[in-house]
Amino acid sequence: SNPTSSRRAPFIVIEGLDRSGKTTQTSKLAQRLEGSGVDTKLVKFPDRTTPIGKMIDSYLRSASDLDDHAVHLLFSANRWELAPTIERLLTAGTTVICDRYAFSGIAFSASKVDAEGAPLLPFEWCRSPDVGLPAPDLVLFFDITPEKAKERGGYGEERYEKEEMQLRVRKAFHRIAEEMGEDEKVGRGATRWVTVDAGRGMDEVERDVWTLVEPLVRGGVTGPVAKLWT
């Protein structure tokens, strides 16, 4: 009856390739919001602190091996275990800024190939366990060319941080980006997807991010948190 009572805080996800400056920008954004008096929670996936997250961490550091299907489902389970917390925070008026989400889940797993270069996990199979998760209101996809990423000092030591893998991941992200912009059925739903050119200077990127995020945070969002891909 009171329309303002259903207003809630926005759920904002930052996605992107390795070396895109995603993590730096995510924490800058969270700090700036807090500095502006906005109640903010920074979330990161994988959340390596939970029991599931510890299994993922061990896998990423190659301290353990897991079947590709199994580790994909662990990444998804890691999001599901935090989903109720995210919903609660949004409803309580806390803006949630999230470093990686289900889009990374699909992009990385769908980019794994066998010795012949054939995909190990079909794209739609990769999407299914994340269907129904809290849907972000805004996704900022940090895109960067492999050349620029290289200039920034190359990739780290973890699994997936190899050039060929990163090229496939970028393609997968572009497929998701297209879907999120164009295909209403499996794509966007309540989510707005914006691709950010992350190959530019840090200040320029920061300015763009703020321009996209600030009005959403100031205005809030009406209605309940939507469910991803439903």
Positions touching ligand TMP (CB under 6 A) are: 45-46, 60, 75, 100, 104-105, 108-109, 160
User: Between 40 and 108, whose beta carbon lies closer to ligand TMP?
Assistant: 108
Query: Rounded to an integer, what distance in angstroms lies between the CA atom of residue 19 and that of residue 179?
Result: 24
Quote the least distance from Cβ 102 to ligand TMP, whole Å: 7
Quote the least distance from Cβ 109 to ligand TMP, whole Å: 6
- Distances in Å between the Cα of 101 and the Cα atoms of 2, 4, 138, 165, 180 are 33, 29, 12, 18, 14
DSSP 55-114: HHHHHHTTSS---HHHHHHHHHHHHHTTHHHHHHHHHTT-EEEEES-HHHHHHHHTT-B-
User: Between 9 and 52, whose beta carbon lies closer to ligand TMP?
Assistant: 52
User: Between 39 and 68, whose beta carbon lies closer to ligand TMP?
Assistant: 68
User: Between 157 and 184, whose beta carbon lies closer to ligand TMP?
Assistant: 157
Quote the least distance from Cβ 168 to ligand TMP, whole Å: 12
Quote the least distance from Cβ 18 to ligand TMP, whole Å: 6
